[in-house]
Chain A
């Protein structure tokens, strides 16, 4: 009971701080925090797959990018706006997730890694190569933010919009993770064969988790497309998938809140490093190595471990 009140209070505190952001910070930083929120959602969606179900995907950006491209294509080729574009983007991301899941779940372990990696690259290659449709490497600029009654053009307005959407998504994710379904995912992560022996149709659970993760990643991608007012193949590339992955690991896989913190950190680091040097990718690689060597369980993961050890007689 104490734990529940504690995390509720913490949640309220965080929310209060976030609500104050547009009043306390300059537009550039409000934009940065918006980006942190978007990537927190992206990272948490991957956590559902990696941290809770135990499926390490190296191609999560595929769903992020497919949703973003759907937004862009609908707007720039068909003039379609927010009300239709959002659901369409989610549907596209979910469908892509289903297709990739069916193929990737034919295997486990290293094969699964390779397949998700390769399939995401295939999606990227379509975006990159189909110049007539997607403009290829130049990307698709000029996307207008949706108008749901009041304009979201203003940085502050978009911040609140993002906060609302991400907030609801986080509540949904938390509910999923706490539900019997979420508990079953954790069992699958720990031992697939044991869960099978207990009567669980493991493939169905993994497939559903994968598709859900794709959907939430797609939501983040849609938000990001409107945030930048631009979509390019970099939404789909390895680096994007790699950033999502390190956000989860750095924060702590399987904790949901950890990846959100990891996302904020990585977004901040990228912004900071990129302002000083062109070598963000190298820094990213170094972060990978350092985190793996010194903090493989992630920041929040280490706290959880410490608590677990203390409670053992």
Chain B
């Protein structure tokens, strides 16, 4: 029975990781940018949600405000900084790395060094009976939300013209323009969307995982492992990788608390040896 709980925990955590990995993959797939700032979007998004909840008590509002705020910040970063280095990998990495540090320090300054959790919204403060035990409804909620967002992204990718382009990995701006798409606007939107997804992940994580200085790096690493295992640029890969990593992380923390990262590291090493571009990666 305890296994079921761990599996559900793992899947729930996996859904959070999926939100991050999907954003990373989305941004990389179209813009070929490895967005190191993604960890910050997660943490700062979570912190903003926390502040909104402290002010208004509304979880829903926290989600919305955090998503919008981070989306705006992301758009600004893309528009004023990243855009100048289109297709130039190292400068983009350095920029996103730099912002990761700036936000890390800023959030420490603003929200302090103690780990904090968001108050669990009232409606979720109960457990659902499942057989011999009860399971907190919030984590089930996370799983559902994750699946809904995954489906929405999937639908978008399969059934819109834009999505088809993204799927094909079209990075030729000329073709995109020929199809009548405003490429610069698209880039900003995609980056902002990826950022918003991470922020949503941060707020959703708030009631169950704590927000603390360093959570940006820790979660970023896990997101990296997810896309390494699943394949950068693939939505399916992000989901598969996220579930795998979520499960492994949970089992790792439960059984080897001092070496949790190792249980996650092993499949990563395995994938690298066997299939370096990830389960569903291209090339």
Contacts and interface: CB of A to CB of B under 8 A. Distances in A.
A196 B89 CA distance: 22
B258 A130 contact: yes
B84 to A, nearest CB: 8
Contact of B105 (A111, A119, A282): A282
Interface in B195-217: 217
Contacts of B103: 285
A286 B265 contact: no
Nearest to B281: A111
Interface string A120-138: 0110011001110000000
B83 to A, nearest CB: 12
A107 B277 CA distance: 7
Nearest to A122: B265
A130 to B, nearest CB: 6
Main secondary structure of the interface of A (DSSP, over half): helix
Instruction: Give the size range of A's interface with the partner.
Output: 35 or more
Contacts of A119: 265
Nearest to B221: A121
B98 A285 contact: yes
A122 B262 contact: yes
A296 interface: yes
B97 interface: yes
A287 to B, nearest CB: 7
A182 B234 CA distance: 37
B94 interface: yes
A114 B233 CA distance: 14
Contact of B228 (A111, A129, A284, A289): A111
A114 B39 CA distance: 13
B75 interface: no
A296 B221 contact: no
Interface in A46-74: 56, 58
B76 interface: no
A56 B105 contact: no
Q: Interface centre among A119, A238, A279, A286, by most B CB within 10 Å?
A: A238
A274 B232 CA distance: 38
What is the predominant secondary structure among interface residues of chain B facing chain A? helix
Nearest to A282: B105
B259 A288 contact: no
Nearest to A280: B105
A106 interface: yes
B97 A242 contact: yes
B95 interface: yes
B276 A286 contact: no
A284 B225 contact: no
B143 interface: no
A126 B272 CA distance: 21
Given A110-B232, A115-B272, A118-B224, A125 B101 contact: no
A137 to B, nearest CB: 11
Interface string B91-104: 10111011111111
B34 A106 contact: no
A254 to B, nearest CB: 12
A279 B259 CA distance: 30
Interface string B80-116: 0100110001110111011111111110110000000
Nearest to B28: A110
A286 B99 CA distance: 8
A141 B228 CA distance: 37
A106 B28 contact: no
Interface string B53-91: 000000000000000000000000000010011000111
Contacts of A106: 272-273, 276
Nearest to B269: A103
B97 A288 contact: yes
B98 A289 contact: yes
Q: Which residue, B90, B106, B109, has most C-beta atoms of chain A within 10 A?
A: B90
B228 A115 contact: yes
Contacts of A126: 259, 261-262
Nearest to A56: B90
Contacts of A131: 258
Interface string A235-257: 00011001001100100000000
Given A104-B272, A118-B265, 8 more contacts: A56-B93, A111-B276, A125-B259, A238-B217, A246-B94, A281-B101, A282-B105, A292-B95
14 contacts: A110-B89, A114-B232, A121-B217, A125-B259, A125-B260, A245-B97, A279-B105, A281-B101, A282-B106, A285-B100, A285-B103, A285-B104, A288-B101, A289-B95
Interface of A: 56, 58, 103-104, 106-107, 109-111, 113-115, 117-119, 121-122, 125-126, 129-131, 238-239, 242, 245-246, 249, 279, 281-282, 284-289, 291-293, 296
